[in-house]
Structure 1
Amino acid sequence: MTVPNKRAPASLVIVIAVQSICAAFYVADAVFDGVDGGWANLIHGEMVFEAIASLALMAAVVIETRLLMDLLRREAHLERQVTAATGAFHDVIEEHFHLWALTPSEQDVAQFTIKGMSISEIAVLRGSAEGTVKSHLNAIYRKAGVTGRGGLLSLLIEDLLGVPLLERSGADTL
């Protein structure tokens, strides 16, 4: 699982803050020019351009702030969904382990297998021989009624989705 870049929102906040300061400077400059030179002079030449630029910069700050808030809300929502899915997948795995009556050693090996580890990696992590891991895997596959790692993962994912993939694909063609 990747770790989200927590500096990205901070960078955007800094950019928005700098833009806000610039916008405040341009607005203050226009106000001071109006006070010093008279408001009638503001509609001539570069003053119109400065006013339009100030308004555009302020609009950009507002838009960027709204977009940042939307992105942060979406990130929080996605994190909640991932947490829920992770919990659901864990529950599905635990339920299957119980139904298959896996021993604690078989459960460990099954979890490492589901995580994608090789037989040699599992053996090193468990401090056992590769033959022992292979023996556990054969027992797991037999109890689960599958022929290998792919079948094991498919079985768990199908159960997580709630509808077997074959049934769903057949319903789509009707």
Structure 2
Amino acid sequence: MTTERGDSPKPRRRREAALIALMAVQLLCSAFFISDVITDTMEAGSISAHLDLEMLANLGLIAGIVVEGLVLRAMLAREARSAQALSVARGALATLMQQRFEAWGLTPSEADVAGFTIKGCTIAEVAALRGSSEATVKTHLNAVYRKAAVSGRGQLVSLFIEDLLAGPIEGGAVGG
């Protein structure tokens, strides 16, 4: 599984852990500085402008940590929603392709070639993946284009993009 940027979950988790560790270090530093201000205040017997400034800086550090945590949580939630939406879109495309291929009456070989073509493979790549000749792939592609009533790869792909962009997919059913 990868994210839209191509990151695998393991490095992403490491970054999250590193950010959380950084926030923990900031929190420890803040606790140290606050205890230092309290100790200095007790030793001096009164609060000075310098100690007020130190306390204000510490409160700013704590506020920064809180904001960092909230932003991190929001970013992680947004990333999870994006990953879920991408997964739904991938599943929707696969479902849509299967439904269209069945409606067009594609043979298993034609459906295989059409799937590779929609994914962006060249004729030579499809031939290599299927262990067949380029002429066979071209024959299958011509049959796919004829059955789909399109003139080429661009129109074939646009059929699927238009269906995916037409609106939400409800209950796994895709328009045809």
| TM-score when normalising by structure 2 | 0.86
- Counterpart Cα distance in 1 of 2:144 and 2:7: 32
Pick from 150, 156, 159 the counterpart of residue 160 of structure 2. Answer: 156
- Structure exhibiting the larger radius of gyration computed from Cα positions: 1
Read off the aligned partner of 2:31 and give its amino acid letter: A
Match of 1:51 in 2: 55
> What 5-or-longer segments of structure 1 have no aligned partner?
164-174
User: What's the secondary structure of 1:3's corresponding residue?
Assistant: coil
Once the two structures are superposed, residues 24-78 of structure 1 have per-residue CA deviations (whole angstroms, 9 ceiling, x without a partner) of 111111112222322x2x2x24212211110110000000000000111111111
On the 8 A contact 2:41/2:51 being kept in 1, the answer is no
> What 5-or-longer segments of structure 2 have no aligned partner?
168-176
Q: Please say if 1:68 is aligned against 2:72.
A: yes
Read off the aligned partner of 2:17 and give its amino acid letter: A
Please provide the CA RMSD for this pair.
Answer: 1.4
Read off the aligned partner of 2:39 and give its amino acid letter: F
- Counterpart Cα distance in 1 of 2:7 and 2:100: 29
Q: Percent identity?
A: 46
Once the two structures are superposed, residues 100-145 of structure 1 have per-residue CA deviations (whole angstroms, 9 ceiling, x without a partner) of 1111111111111011011111111111111111111111001000
Structure showing the higher helix proportion among its residues: 1
Q: How does 1:69-148 map to 2 (within 5 A)?
A: 69-148=73-152
Match of 2:171 in 1: none
- Counterpart Cα distance in 2 of 1:89 and 1:125: 21
Bigger relative contact order, structure 1 or 2, given CA contacts below 8 A and separation 6+? 2
Match of 2:170 in 1: none
User: What's the secondary structure of 1:147's corresponding residue?
Assistant: coil
Instruction: Find runs of 4+ consecutive structure 1 residues off by over 4 angstroms.
Output: none
